[in-house]
Amino acid sequence: MGVLYVVSAEEAAGKTAICAGIALNLMNDGKKAGYLKPQVAAKDGSDSDIVFMKQILGLDDAVNAPDVIKGRDVVLVEAMLGPGADDALSKDSYGAAKGMQAKAVAVEAYTGEVSKYTDVYKGFGDSLLGVIINKAPESKLKQVKDDAKAQFGAAGITVLGVIPENRVLLAITVGELAEKIQGKILNNAEKSAELVENFMLGAMVVDSGLDYFGRKSNKAAIVRQDRPDMQLAALETSTSCLILTGSSEPPVYNVLQKAEARGIPIISTDAEVQDILASLEDNLMATRLNQEKKLSRLAEVVKKNLDIQAVV
């Protein structure tokens, strides 16, 4: 049995996603994985990361239980570091990792700037396996890999992998989207589990509607209720759902008929475009990796971009 201590010095670096991706690949190989989050504030198991990992692992006794180490091939421990090696949070993680005889992996979100935490990571000493750079732009992946290897290599730290940012992992379902903007799904409700990867506004478009909406796929097209011309154009392209704003009035017959024929849900809301955008900005980062499509994609991305054998 091995223990992998997954840490970061900043919030939202993607530790839980990395733990989930490793766990999914271990399970695909027939191995048993467990998960611990010892620094969690909520002691009643309501922490969203714990709930999420329970969903993935499928067994309550494999997640955040005192005896989780028993009977598991690998236990993933998620924890935080402080901003410096002498910080109390860092010392807590160093001591816990040593007590568990764990190997440590640092996760750092890509920012384009030089890491401020190499000395903090090195506080694990010989137990540190290396660092994973997460959320790197797909278009700059090779450059990020080269830069990371040069920078961390100079500090004596191995780069275990560079994980690209993926639109599918940031997506939200049609049903979740309707709920967050307080809208009503008018048709094709069976498509509420479809993922929305992009958002496009249909107001004040100079280009042809078809040319404009054709630029992005799997999108939510946000169009005013009184613009059926733009609504019809969006429905001719790869659209996950059509959001009609500014009125709860139903769409014109031609729009509803086209949406029905193409199997595209329409969400109607009284909210104005600026209110919808504000709601999405507040809520999108909180979406969890809890859809089946996301989990399979997460496992694939981690397997492709992380040396899992070197980690576990």
Per-residue pLDDT band for 269 (boundaries 50, 70, 90) equals: very high
Q: What is the mean pLDDT of residues 83-92?
A: 95
Mean pLDDT highest for which of 40-44, 204-208, 229-233, 279-283?
229-233
Q: What's the confidence (pLDDT) of residue 42?
A: 47
Over residues 244-254, the pLDDT tens digits come to 999 888 899 99
Q: What's the confidence (pLDDT) of residue 284?
A: 60
Q: What is the mean pLDDT of residues 278-301?
A: 70
Kindly tell me if the per-residue pLDDT of 1 is higher than 80: no
Kindly tell me if the per-residue pLDDT of 165 is higher than 50: yes
The span from the CA of 199 to the CA of 298, in Å, is 21
Per-residue pLDDT band for 14 (boundaries 50, 70, 90) equals: confident
Q: What is the mean pLDDT of residues 129-135?
A: 96
Q: What's the confidence (pLDDT) of residue 33?
A: 93
What's the mean pLDDT when you consider all of the chain?
88
Q: What is the mean pLDDT of residues 104-114?
A: 95
The CA-based diameter of the chain, rounded to the nearest angstrom, is 68
Q: Where along the chain do its domains lie?
A: 2-168+288-311, 172-286
Kindly tell me if the per-residue pLDDT of 274 is higher than 80: yes
Per-residue pLDDT band for 147 (boundaries 50, 70, 90) equals: very high
Kindly tell me if the per-residue pLDDT of 181 is higher than 50: yes
The span from the CA of 255 to the CA of 54, in Å, is 42
Q: What is the pTM of this model?
A: 0.71
Q: What's the confidence (pLDDT) of residue 62?
A: 73
Percent of the chain whose pLDDT exceeds 70: 90
Percent of the chain whose pLDDT exceeds 90: 60
Q: What's the confidence (pLDDT) of residue 28?
A: 93
Least confident span in 242-251, 271-280, 288-297, 299-308? 288-297
HEC profile of the chain: CEEEEEEECCCCCCHHHHHHHHHHHHHHCCCCEEEECCCCCCCCCCCHHHHHHHHHHCCHHHECCCCCCCCCCEEEEEEECCCCCCCHHHHHHHHHHHHCCCEEEEEEECCCCCCCCHHHHHHHHHHEEEEEEEEECHHHHHHHHHHHHHHHHHCCCCEEEEEECCCHHHCEEHHHHHHHCCCEECCCHHHCCCEECEEEECCCCCCCHHHHHCCCCCEEEEEECCCHHHHHHHHCCCEEEEEEECCCCCCCHHHHHHHHHHCCCEEECCCCHHHHHHHHHHHHHHCCCCCHHHHHHHHHHHHHHECHHHHC
Q: What's the confidence (pLDDT) of residue 251?
A: 94
Report the CATH architecture of 2-168+288-311.
Answer: 3-Layer(aba) Sandwich (3.40)
Q: Looking at domain 172-286, does it have CATH number 3.40.1390.20?
A: yes
Q: What is the mean pLDDT of residues 276-286?
A: 69
Per-residue pLDDT band for 223 (boundaries 50, 70, 90) equals: very high
Over residues 56-82, the pLDDT tens digits come to 888 777 777 767 777 889 999 999 999
Mean pLDDT highest for which of 244-248, 264-268, 290-294?
264-268
